[in-house]
Amino acid sequence: MASSPDACYCLSGRMAVEANNSRGWRTVPPQCVGHVERYMLGGQYGSDVTEVADQIAIYLGGSAAAASDGMDAWILDVDDTCLSNLPYYREKHFGGEPYDSRAFVSWVLREACPAIPQVLGVYRKLMERGFQVFLLTGRSEDVLGASTVENLAAQGFDGHHRLIMRSGAYKGYGAVDYKSSIRRQLVAEGYRIRGNVGDQWSDLLGECVGDRTFKIPNPMYFIP
């Protein structure tokens, strides 16, 4: 059975987002909200995240461990990489509504973001193998610091080397510039960034991105 024009349009749009060909968009098109809902809840999203985790496992190898000097590092984003905001975006028509900063802050302060299980598995494997894991997020340290720490710990993301949040010094920075600056600092400290995982291309572009980057799918929003 041939797909409808809308179905083809929405599938192509989601592919354009994942390939970073579609940029600067603010909301999911109205005719594609149902498509994104089916993708996120119908099993394909979970399967795609599992594939990312499997590719990370292949990259790591069967038993490869971090170097004994303690300077092999991995960077993981937080929102929709470690912790899922799907319950929040489910109420926002899966990205069909414009971003509401106040509503999102209220959601985060509830400390109710569930772990993305495949990424939690990656996280535990990295910890077991002796990598220094840095969680790098654009969340405001002043506003969301305590709730983020508690939420991460409650979902099993504990013991990491450092949680780095956006301080006042980076107010107004775009995500690429902010995260590039932090990564440069880590490299200057002597860390070797072996891998970098995020749901936005702005997590994975810029300077000092690491030896390998891995993109978690996210068709619900775009952060430049």
- CA dist 167 and 169 (Å) reads 5
What does the pLDDT look like over 4-43, one tens digit per residue? 889 999 999 999 999 999 999 999 999 999 999 999 999 9
- pLDDT value, residue 1: 47
pLDDT at 2 over 70: no
| Lookup result for tokens 């929102």 | 79
Q: Which residues span the domain enclosing 122? A: 5-215
- Whether 220 is covered by a domain: the verdict is no
Q: What is the CATH number of the domain that holds 14?
A: 3.40.50.1000
Residue 221 lies in a domain: no
93 located within any domain: yes
62: pLDDT confidence band, cut at 50, 70 and 90?
Answer: confident
The answer, yes or no, to whether residue 184 has pLDDT greater than 80, is yes
Q: Does residue 163 fall inside a structural domain? A: yes
Domain-located, residue 222: no
Residue 111 in domain: yes
Virtual torsion, Cα 55, 59, 60, 66, nearest 10 deg: -140
Domains: count for the chain: 1
Q: Average per-residue pLDDT in the chain? A: 97
Q: Residues of the chain with pLDDT > 90: what percent?
A: 96
Tens of pLDDT, residues 124-165? 999 999 999 999 999 999 999 999 999 999 999 999 999 999
